[in-house]
Amino acid sequence: MAQRPARPYQPDAMECAILLLLLVGPEERTRARLAEITLKRLWNRRRLRDEFLRDVQDWLFRAGWALFYAGTTFGIVKTKAVEGWPRVTSKELGNELEKVARGQFDFSRHYDLLFADETEE
């Protein structure tokens, strides 16, 4: 009698987090860039739904990692590495935020901030 093919399996969010951590690998690595196609292959998925990604992110966060989408690719970074980054606070924009609250802030003077600086390579 012929054997039936194995039933297809898609790992759940926790299992996908484990697979990604296995891929990222060495303890000394604190960050990595990942193509969407890599995650789809790794997790046996044709689409990466937002809710599913949030579930994977929750599991990764428990392990000390943050997964994020960066426009054209995904990134993963150890949360301890982020703790060493310079901190910015809203206090630095105190006067501007007061103007925003009063409806008096001129956003048009800052539209250029929304366009990537092509010279930053």
Q: Is there a domain that residue 8 lies in?
A: no
- Contact between 52 and 69 under an 8 Å Cβ cutoff? The reply is no
pLDDT in 10s for each residue of the chain, 121 residues: 778 888 889 999 999 999 999 999 977 899 999 999 999 999 999 999 999 999 999 999 999 999 999 999 999 999 999 998 999 999 999 999 999 999 999 999 999 999 977 665 5
- Spatial distance between the Cα atoms of 76 and 101, rounded to a whole number of angstroms: 35
Tell me whether residue 111 is in a domain.
Answer: yes
Both 51 and 107 in one domain: the answer is: no
Tell me, yes or no, whether 36 lies in a domain.
yes
Total-model pTM: 0.80
Quick one: 49 and 27 in the same domain? Answer: yes
Q: Is residue 4 one of the residues assigned to a domain? A: no
What are the helix (H) ranges across 1-121?
A: 13-24, 36-43, 50-62, 79-83, 94-101
Same structural domain, 76 and 96: no
Give the structural domain span for 98: 90-115
Together in a domain, 38 and 95: no
Amino acid identity for residue 79 in this structure: T
The CATH number of the domain holding residue 74 is: 1.10.10
